[in-house]
Structure 1
Amino acid sequence: MNNESLHIYGPLFSPFVKTVILVCEEKGLNYTAGLTIKGEEVPFKSEQHLKLHPAGKVPILFHNDFMLCETVAICRYLDQVFPHTPMQPEDIYERALHDQWCSLLAGEFILPLIHNYLLEFAFPKGENGQVRMDKVKEAEPLLLNTLTKLNNELETGKTFGQSIFTIADALIIPILAYLHGLPHGAEHLKQFSYLQDYITKMLNQPSCVKLLK
């Protein structure tokens, strides 16, 4: 382990960067993270960044001389290379369902929430840096629809918050923690009992206490 070099390129506020950090924390891995590569600053969306990821996305993992993009691929790779503290189900069918939800979370669920809802709070574009509440209102149907689907899945007891902390958990909890910390988001979460219980449980996970509280 001491000879391993793990670096996560990306801004620390990114929920996807936080996902990879949570995986490293759960596995007890030594890592560095931030907008540097080999000790040199590489600005987000810069020419150098775009050479590493054509879409200019984060995170990017550097493991010794190996480079890998895309959050879910990075998490699965780390789970295979460092198999202690497994973060995927062993059963083939349970793992397939877990993979299915990882794909759904990383795409259909998380990205629209970030772009249409959370970014308005994180980087307000209204007059004098105010949150544009009209834009927030426009995004509320998407938010509530997503929360309903997540709450329904939690009710089944098949995917999230099981006996092990999984990659799926690491994908969704940074977003839910951010929502939970917003008065506007917390008010909506009150409608979803399974989600509220899940958030409480996850935020007591040692890795989440360290990173998300």
Structure 2
Amino acid sequence: MSKPVLISIPVSNLGRSVQMLLEEKGVDYEFETASPHSDAVNAVHPLGKVPALRHGELTLCESEAMARYIDKVFDGPKFFPEDPTLCAKVDQWVSLHNTAFDTSMIRQYVLGYVLPKMAGKEPNREQIDASLPIVKKHLAVLESALEGGFLVGDSLTYADLANFPTLAYLPDFPESAEMLKEFPNVVAYIDAIGARESAKKTQPRRG
């Protein structure tokens, strides 16, 4: 069987979710660095976004579709449980991440710092300040859900791999770092998953 090729950039939280899954399952894969809207990405993703996946003749976009494919096709532990109730819960937390947490924490808050910096400008204070109440609300939801240490059941699932790379950015920015002091379960979760080999191997460079 040919190696799957994950096409992304190291700083992509969504790409890191898929890469951590590949690492956790022990899959032999290749990582191809390609920017959004580059020829390599446009050839796979109809909207030119990362991540994307190529495996033999198959091409896939959307991180959850990639994750489900990887979990079904490759050996190793399963991250989408066979139990339908638990699997539905995984889907719930992946959907909450992709439709809400990613938007507030990354697209609105983190990128309010990062994109202006890349252009040599000051942070977008209006965008950042508007995002903070929503980020805090979403952290409160996660704080309650993480009483047991994982989002679903008593072991790591793709729900955790989907959410962790986003949360891992929050200690690096001033308002969210201060905010995390109110959410000890979230902090413990970031620390625990961040200590896994899959997280260490996929850690993007800071700065």
Letter in 1 for 2:197: P
Q: Which runs of 5+ in 2 are unaligned?
A: none
Structure 2 CA distance for aligned equivalents of residues 8 and 126 of structure 1: 25
Contact persistence 2:44–2:53 (CA under 8 A) = no
Distance in 2 between the 1:127 and 1:26 partners? 36
Contact 1:20 1:74 (C-alpha < 8 Å) held by counterparts: yes
Counterpart of 1:152? Answer: 144
Which of 159-168 and 56-65 deviates more?
159-168
Distance 1:126 1:50 in 2: 23
1:1-213 matches, within 5 Å, as 3-36=1-34, 43-46=35-38, 49-124=41-116, 128-155=120-147, 157=148, 160=151, 162-212=153-203
| Deviation >4 Å, runs of 4+ | 125-128
Distance 2:200 2:152 in 1: 16
Name the aligned partner's letter for residue 212 of structure 1: Q
Deviations 1:118-164 (Å, cap 9, x if unpaired)?
A: 11222225994322334321211111111111112223x39527543
1:128/1:54 Cα in 2 relative to 1: closer, same or farther (>3 Å)? closer
RMSD of aligned residue pairs (Cα, Å):
2.3
* TM, length-normalised to structure 2: 0.87
TM-score w.r.t. length of structure 1: 0.85
Q: Quote the Cα distance in structure 1 between the aligned partners of 2:103 and 2:126.
A: 20
Q: CA deviation at 1:116?
A: 0.8
1:39 aligns with none
Unaligned segments of structure 1, at least 5 residues? 37-42
- For 2:40 and 2:63, the matched residues in 1 are separated by 19
Aligned AA (1:154) = L
